[in-house]
Chain A
Amino acid sequence: MKEPIVAISTPPGRGAIGIVRLSGNGVLDIVKGFFRIKGNIKPRYAYYGELVDEKGEVIDEGILIFYKGPASYTGEDMVELNLHGNPLILKKALELAIKGGARLAEPGEFTKRAFLNGKIDLTQAEAVEEIISAKSYIALKSAVNQLRGELSGIIRPLRDKLVDLLSLIEADIDFGEEDIPSIENDELMSLLTEVEDSIRSLLDSYERGRFFKEGIKLAIVGKPNVGKSSLFNTLTGKDRSIVTDIPGTTRDYIEEDVYIKGIPLILVDTAGIRDTEDPVEKEGVERSLSKVKEADIVLFVFDISAGIDKYDMEIYEKIRGKNVIIVGNKVDLGIKRPLENFDGKPIIMVSAITREGIPELEKAIVGKVGITEAEQGVFISVRHSVLLKDAIESIDTFRRAIESGLGMEVAAVHLKEAVNKLGEILGDITTEDILSNIFSKFCIGK
């Protein structure tokens, strides 16, 4: 157990309730020094009491809950004070706790202590951070699943399968002179494929998870004055982009977070892309192009009342390889030439002004994302995806080592690598359990 720490756990600013949290040795005694309560305090009960300053004056009333370690979030003794959400009150409580012997907690220190005290594993510790920072309901659910051990629940069996495989090889090396069954290459390969497939689908979830955690980048692209900024304003419901009839009004890009059907999007309004001599506009076009490169989905906007011209085509060429939705804007001004498809893609006809076709556009965007709010499971982090990719690479090298007839003792090195990478996700640093695996499977011993 360790030195007491204290922090205000609710966000800054005013609110109905504000919480001050303490963890460590003697936190209950510290709190009793400035929070008056009648009678004894039992763990996990709510107690009404008074916050009292140095002069003995009552500043606030609130509720105290005491958690006795190790049955607490951090594994240590903890106290939570629910006070009124006035920053002045909360700051006072903080000061009083520090005077009583607590230290101001570092960012994330409560979770760090939970990890160090063995209350949660590495994937779970990471999940806490993600729960707090989740940008969408789906990302939140995923983080909660991870906290509940769901990611470990997927990776551990994969690691165990590789350990099984490794056991076969180890048994062959250590007990090859005894009458144990030899490894069939076919069997080995099919087991490998199974594991690889599972890892790959986890990696897929990384891409989708990234969408949910960070938001999907959606860039609006088109030549000047096709109504990109109007569309941006319509989709965000705000008037952030200046709309004029003068081409080239938007000289830089503008970003805004929006939710479409519960999916977080980062909408980017780009400067109209055209050849220009104006240095400011030129810079804007450059930056727009780089934003387009980063985008997950591109809305290619043209003026359907004017039809597609060669400038539209030039811009389209630049974004052709991306995930593109074709938007014919200004449908309220009439249609110059009826067009159903463009480059084999359906054209969605909208009016940013009248909102005609906007629901269809939203549906198309959601369709492109390929996920729905009902999405289940866990989304992995960058750290996980790097380790998973490493594991796949090791499995691949292992496979090639076997196929090219290098010895099992050499191939085993690569398989061990893969096992270790998966173990690292779980926070394991040793690779044991192989021998016990061997003994349970084979009759060893002459």
Chain B
Amino acid sequence: MPFEDYDVAVIGGGHAGIEASLASARMGARTVMFILKKDTIGQMSCNPAIGGIAKGIVVREIDALGGEMGKAIDNTGIQFKMLNRRKGKAVWSPRAQADKKRYKEYMRKVCENQENLEIKEEEVVDILVEKGRVIGVKTAEGNEYRVKSVVVTTGTFLNGVIYIGHKTMKGGRAGEPPSESLSNFYKRQGFPLARFKTGTPARLDKRTIDFSGLEVAPGDDPPPKFSFWTEPVGTYWFEEGKKQVPCWITYTTEKTHKIVRENLDKTALYGGLIKGIGPRYCPSIEDKIVRFPDKDKHLIFLEPEGIDVIEIYPNGLSTSLPEDIQIEMYRSIPGLENVEILRPAYAIEYDVVPPTELYPTLETKKIRGLFHAGNFNGTTGYEEAAGQGILAGINAALRAFGKEPIYLRRDESYIGVMIDDLTTKGVTEPYRLFTSRSEYRLYIRQDNALLRLAKIGREVGLLDEERYKMVEELRGEIEKWCEFYRKEKLQVAIGSDIRGYTVAQLFTANYTLEDLKVYNIATPEHPFVREEVEIALKYEPYVERERKIYEKIKKLEDIRIPEDIDYKKIPGLTKEAVEKLERFRPITVGQASRIDGITPATITALLVYLGKLE
């Protein structure tokens, strides 16, 4: 019966599927990626950009672990910016406009050339399970493949329905059919399914836009890059003078708002068609106008989808209005008076399996060897998907090798924050990362992703020895300089008061290495070491404080809950608490404490039972 043998099967070739497939194959697992059409590998279904606040940090974390997304955007990006420059470096985050076509071509090439990775244009319709373990997959073509682990990354394709006004059609993305059979597998296995919703704006014809009156939004110079390993290797910055293309800024008008308000009943959302839950932070224009009636204009970015294409992505204008009214609405905006629509905006509704069905390793609790990653877990964003993808890929391979899966901690990465949030709190709307989701924002920064995660990348075998050695050498140098600056004192006048301050203290008071020039003190040469020493010392006292706030919670993080715990036997637990804990099966007391509805009293009782209460 089995056709062919693989260690790991990845269903889907989007941003999660790519990282999962590459990680698994690079770790030496024989991997197969199932995708309906090869040329949709790495497709950007929505905005033509990678990164953003918090998201950009995730891309650098993926890079540190040995993933591909950072290199892909560095190679195909057409405009690069460091966001939040007005604020401290701890909350800076890189973002880039992508050339969509080149991005997916790059990704396809990398996947096709990856050793141990095979790509099959077949639709998986069933996952085969025996004694609670994955044993294989079955495709629409009638083939069965014996595999040890499966990673499901079906994005918005599971039972996808597309809405344009009151017009609906089945689809996983514009012009592509949804995946319906796999939903049956989940129903059969007793997984709950939820309906989520998201949307994308129309694509506009560049030739019909009048840019003359619009504000230009250029890239940064020097531009930031995402991967430490793209040229010039060993820094997070490109050289100055990189060729980039601009974006443009415009605003909605009173007329726009009037059109939307008068046609609300014709939208899929307010017409009552869509029941799924949409993201609050990525609202459609009708959402914004309804929820913030006092705001008289909304900011719109016009972003090119590539260097030599005519598509323009109007960021901030997703809608589920019918097509004829969309045109009217877009044309009420300065610069777009004569605009032509290439593809209308649409909203899409799709199935997700609640991520509370997963361990923080992204393996399902019900079926061993079955992993979920990406939008299918209720997240939005390419970066969030890729971050889950790489962990799911790593763990699928580890499972196949008979090893224990790993998880990432909240205090070491945004990927860890996201996956912990997903698996303990679940999702009530599409999940996006923000810096405020992290308790350790001043430590898990864009600049030190490599220092935080390279060790894990090396341990699982994704980061090669040579690169890891380079990272460790840099780390050693950084520590040496930090040590020096913590002790070295300078006589500095702050106001009229001249006193001795350690260099570290000066950094905390916003001094930079540049400012130290006049004091004739030794400074590092290597650009990465220079940047890192300055940032690390500046935030050092606050990182400590941050840690202190959560010390209590962190202690809980280290207390493992035995897998065979019987919550019913714990004195003092309410029925509700027992029921919740049994359902979530948290792996640490820390995780238990974050489950919605679990009270401090429950945690106390749990600690008493585990004998961990001081």
**Contacts from A to B (Cβ < 8 Å):** 2-3, 70, 75, 113, 115-118, 122, 170, 172-179, 405-410, 412-414, 416-417, 420, 427-431, 434-435, 438-439, 443-446
Contact = CB atoms under 8 A, between A and B. Distances in A.
Given A116-B605, A435-B434, A409 B572 contact: no
Contact of B83 (A70, A177, A179, A413): A177
A407 B88 contact: yes
Interface in B500-541: 510, 539
Contacts of B553: 429-430
Contact of B542 (A70, A113, A413): A413
Interface in B523-568: 539, 542, 545-546, 549, 552-553
A445 B552 contact: no
Interface string B490-506: 00000000000000000
Contact of A75 (B87, B281, B574, B604): B574
B88 A409 contact: yes
A444 B83 contact: no
Given A116-B605, A407-B88, A410-B539, A430 B83 contact: no
Interface string B156-170: 000000000000000
B110 interface: no
B193 interface: no
B280 interface: yes
Given A173-B436, A174-B54, A443-B291, A179 B299 contact: yes
Contacts of A174: 53-54, 434-436
B47 to A, nearest CB: 9
Given A115-B601, A413-B545, A430-B593, A446 B315 contact: yes
A407 B437 contact: no
Nearest to A112: B572
A443 B572 contact: no
B90 A117 contact: no
Interface string B582-614: 000000000001100001111111000000000
B510 A405 contact: yes
Nearest to A417: B549
B546 A445 contact: no
A314 to B, nearest CB: 45
A261 B604 CA distance: 43
Nearest to A116: B572
Max chain B CB contacts within 10 Å: which of A115, A174, A405, A429? Answer: A174
Q: Which 8 A-B pairs have the closest CB atoms?
A: A407-B88, A116-B572, A179-B299, A170-B436, A2-B571, A446-B316, A443-B292, A439-B280
21 contacts: A116-B571, A116-B601, A116-B605, A118-B574, A170-B434, A170-B435, A170-B436, A173-B435, A174-B54, A176-B53, A407-B87, A408-B88, A409-B91, A410-B542, A413-B545, A416-B546, A416-B549, A429-B553, A430-B553, A435-B434, A446-B315
Interface in B310-365: 315-316
Contacts of A438: 436
B441 interface: yes
Contacts of B577: 118
A429 B603 contact: yes
Contact of A443 (B83, B288, B574): B288
A427 B600 contact: yes
A434 B542 contact: no
B442 interface: yes
Nearest to A428: B600
B60 to A, nearest CB: 17
A179 B542 CA distance: 29
Contacts of B545: 413-414, 417
B295 interface: yes
Contacts of B474: none
Nearest to B288: A443
Contacts of B602: 118
B306 to A, nearest CB: 19
B301 A446 contact: yes
Interface in B66-103: 83-84, 86-88, 90-91
A34 to B, nearest CB: 25
Given A118-B574, A435-B434, A443 B90 contact: no
Contacts of A177: 53, 83-84
Contact of B281 (A115, A413, A444): A444
Nearest to A75: B574
B572 A117 contact: yes
Contact of A435 (B437, B439, B542): B437
A176 B435 CA distance: 12
Interface string B280-319: 1111000010011001001111000000000000011000
Contact of A413 (B292, B546, B603): B546
Given A3-B571, A408-B88, A416-B549, 17 more contacts: A70-B574, A117-B601, A172-B87, A173-B436, A177-B84, A179-B299, A409-B88, A409-B90, A414-B545, A427-B601, A430-B553, A434-B436, A435-B434, A435-B436, A443-B292, A443-B295, A445-B281
A10 B599 CA distance: 32
B296 to A, nearest CB: 11
Given A170-B436, A174-B435, A435-B437, A409 B87 contact: yes
Nearest to B88: A407
B351 to A, nearest CB: 24
A118 B510 contact: no
A176 B84 contact: yes
A177 B82 CA distance: 11
B539 A445 contact: no
Contacts of A409: 87-88, 90-91, 441-442
A407 B594 CA distance: 29
Contacts of B572: 2, 113, 116-117
A304 B599 CA distance: 64
B289 to A, nearest CB: 9
Contact of A429 (B282, B539, B600): B600
A430 B299 contact: no
A445 B52 CA distance: 12
Nearest to B546: A413
B442 A173 contact: no
A367 B505 CA distance: 52
A173 B605 contact: no
Contact of A410 (B442, B600, B605): B442
A301 B193 CA distance: 82
B551 to A, nearest CB: 11
Contacts of B53: 173-177
A178 B316 CA distance: 10
A334 B527 CA distance: 92
Contacts of A443: 283, 288, 291-292, 295, 298
Contacts of A416: 546, 549
Given A75-B574, A409-B441, A439-B281, A429 B552 contact: yes
Nearest to B291: A443
Nearest to A423: B600
B270 to A, nearest CB: 17
Contacts of B292: 443
Contacts of A428: 600
A427 B88 CA distance: 33
Contacts of A175: 53, 281
Nearest to B301: A446
A408 B549 CA distance: 17
Interface in B2-45: none
A338 B434 CA distance: 77
Max chain A CB contacts within 10 Å: which of B437, B600, B604? Answer: B600
A174 B291 CA distance: 20
Contacts of A179: 298-299
B609 to A, nearest CB: 11
Nearest to A70: B574
A409 B88 CA distance: 7
A412 B440 CA distance: 12
A412 B542 CA distance: 10
Nearest to B594: A430
A388 B601 CA distance: 22
